[in-house]
Structure 1
């Protein structure tokens, strides 16, 4: 009879996975508040003024960014007010307080208000662009990875970027227009950020210089993303899987001689996993990032019952178990989606699909366990790591490792790797047992030969 500790172990492991899944959503909430590209323009300027006790309405807003040869830029923002802005015109201290707060990450220079109600604000941005190959300048100011930013729209009705003297716009923003001489880039909407380059005006290889400038800027950052958000967690996951496989190999003689017991154990764990959100107290079964647990539980029960009832010898190969793992993954995703739509609490949310990606490494542990059980340890570890990379890959560049988020996300994904290993441990064990246990018909034939 199983001990109370052994009965509570699956529940404890499932709780660990829930914590890991919920932790994955933390960086999303920790992102900086969304602000327009020009946060001293338009409605955002009016919001800042209101916080200083000034109520005003901006009819239209324009901004001109003049880039200098050393990479600094001067912003000139003009907000056309619905009124004459008399209070701001008469109170220089108030103008400075609002202007200084209106635009982040820049140095406020001065502000003025004309008689017809045009507020003109000037700012200096010291690191708007940086030098690159062949006298090229490149700017990441229009990307969300440029500093502590979360860009939401343009802010202004029109933004004009003026290239440094002796240069022209080499790589403009998508959707922008460039003047005939290449000196001015006009932007009226901002949907997708990108790196902007300025190349020497007379250069015949401007496109090549722009390409090199972008590659050399993104290359180190991409490597940093991959290292902190993919490589380290995936390596840790692979090491954990290898260690578990080594541990099972040392107790191979104590494992079930038939797959029936392993199948029944898998079905039991699946039932616990599916019911865990209910017994956890107050957490909706099919909401947010824990919804895939229901699908995992259903798939575990189906696979477990299938193994306990049939013990098919045809499954004793790596390709066959890889196919079973894909089928189990499909069942889990389908059960998650159907159950969520049936309950109809929040629908098929982004958080749910984000968590559902991590079912890939969970089910990859089935063929991984079989491979390690047959002595092909590198194949098993490689299968597990490949599944984990497929899960974390889509969000590998979501948070920058250079502004704190990479460290946080790396720690969270490391925790999630442990949770995935915990949840997938029963599948890993079943795969290992399939590699070591004898089929039922083989046992019957052996007994018959013994009687003869």
Structure 2
């Protein structure tokens, strides 16, 4: 390998390694803890570690968010009548030590125990939220992705969040109750967290401001995620296309002979796919997991093949029209897949739609790639392969790789899928090549 290529390879590794590292979960993740550490069972455990045995019968907390991003926590734990509760009431230093340890990443302001056995804890958290666009305040503390790591539920029986002065709740937690004036959000459980926003009280553009605030937070994360999850699969896909282009040049076939039949071959592949689906519907084959994408892809391929069988269409073909045809074909595949999913799939839309974008999207990219190769423009073919693959995968990045439960292992899986699509999609690629080779009449 040439020295300059070795330097480029080393540089690529240096760039990709940190990106992959950011996509991987930390090997030494912090222990799971609830959103309110000083509430309920978590407070009991902290007190036990200081040699005090107490039982919390009910716990609630209020978080008052301020415009500068700080928040004030007020926690009320009702303790059963016990010797431990009496010790906390009479021993201020012990009570302060337990309270200070109970809530992480906060400053203890006050801790006291009432005569009826309620311990009240007040904390200040400096970085609970951040200011964002248009006077919006956002917080990621209700989600593992952008706030607490290894989040384990709510902690309290009831938790209320008060919006900063002059604002109201924009995006709330699913299942939370928001007061009529929008100032207070109340939760009794926390399962699927999300970023919470607070927008100016009198604004008419609350949803838009919330979207922009969350987008400003997610944008850099999605950019890193895109590089981590797409770089290697796109590279493999593009390199295989380059190898196929080199093979076409080496074999030096006369593709003009098959220009008229290429469309019929594609239509035949589409018809074969739909036939397999019919066999699956009768129980002869078991392809329920890919039935809807198979039906969508087969239908789109059949229609594209029929169109290419028309000489008038072939004569007006250009790189732009072929790209447009590929986009239309992929759109038809996706639309038919979504329509057919309720008929064939039992597990919702997510997996069939993702399968369509990850597999059928790059497959239709092979058509304009082949056209560029047929025109002798190998560089354009490589660019089309790389850009087309990325554009096919980008729409699913916000939900990858959660539906598959693979985490960073999605990278080798996506790479294998890219290689399979590049190889199995050779008929589409060769049809594009045959269309791109100038015939004697043009």
Pick the TM interval, shorter chain: 0.5 to 0.7
Q: CA deviation at 1:43?
A: 5.2
CA distance in 2, matches of 1:133, 1:321: 39
CA contact (8 A) 1:368 1:380 kept: yes
Q: CA deviation at 1:116?
A: 0.9
Match of 1:387 among 392, 396, 400: 392
Counterpart of 2:247? Answer: 251
Counterpart of 2:366? Answer: 369
CA contact (8 A) 2:160 2:185 kept: yes
Q: Say if 1:31 and 1:152 are closer, same or farther in 2 by CA, change over 3 A.
A: farther
Counterpart of 1:195? Answer: 197
Counterpart of 1:86? Answer: 83
CA contact (8 A) 1:295 1:335 kept: yes
Q: CA deviation at 1:301?
A: 11
Counterpart of 2:160? Answer: 159
Q: CA deviation at 1:112?
A: 2.9
Q: CA deviation at 1:363?
A: 1.5
Counterpart of 2:114? Answer: 114
Q: Is 1:76 the equivalent of 2:62?
A: no
CA distance in 1, matches of 2:141, 2:385: 43
Q: Say if 1:198 and 1:79 are closer, same or farther in 2 by CA, change over 3 A.
A: farther
Q: Say if 1:193 and 1:372 are closer, same or farther in 2 by CA, change over 3 A.
A: closer
The count of corresponding residues between Structure 1 and Structure 2 is 358
Q: Describe the superposition over 1:355-377 as per-residue Cα deviations: whole angstroms up to 9, x where unpaired.
A: 86144232223322221111163
The secondary structure found in structure 2 opposite 1:195 is: strand
The secondary structure found in structure 1 opposite 2:394 is: helix
Q: Is 1:225 the equivalent of 2:221?
A: yes
CA contact (8 A) 2:138 2:195 kept: no
CA distance in 1, matches of 2:297, 2:132: 54
Q: Say if 1:249 and 1:328 are closer, same or farther in 2 by CA, change over 3 A.
A: same
Counterpart of 2:62? Answer: 63
Counterpart of 2:137? Answer: 138
Runs of 5+ unmatched residues, structure 2: 1-22, 274-285, 373-379
CA RMSD of aligned residues (A): 5.7
Counterpart of 1:357? Answer: 354
Counterpart of 1:8? Answer: none
CA contact (8 A) 1:46 1:58 kept: no
Q: Say if 1:330 and 1:79 are closer, same or farther in 2 by CA, change over 3 A.
A: same
CA contact (8 A) 2:354 2:396 kept: yes
Q: CA deviation at 1:170?
A: 1.4
CA distance in 2, matches of 1:39, 1:125: 13
Q: Is 1:430 the equivalent of 2:430?
A: no
Q: CA deviation at 1:76?
A: 2.1
Q: Is 1:126 the equivalent of 2:96?
A: no
Q: Say if 1:223 and 1:324 are closer, same or farther in 2 by CA, change over 3 A.
A: closer
Q: Describe the superposition over 1:154-199 as per-residue Cα deviations: whole angstroms up to 9, x where unpaired.
A: 8353536385xxxx231335443377xx9xx433326765123679
CA contact (8 A) 2:69 2:129 kept: yes
- TM-score by length of structure 2 reads 0.57
CA distance in 2, matches of 1:216, 1:323: 31
Q: CA deviation at 1:152?
A: 3.8
Runs of 5+ unmatched residues, structure 1: 1-24, 200-205, 271-284, 342-347, 399-407, 443-452
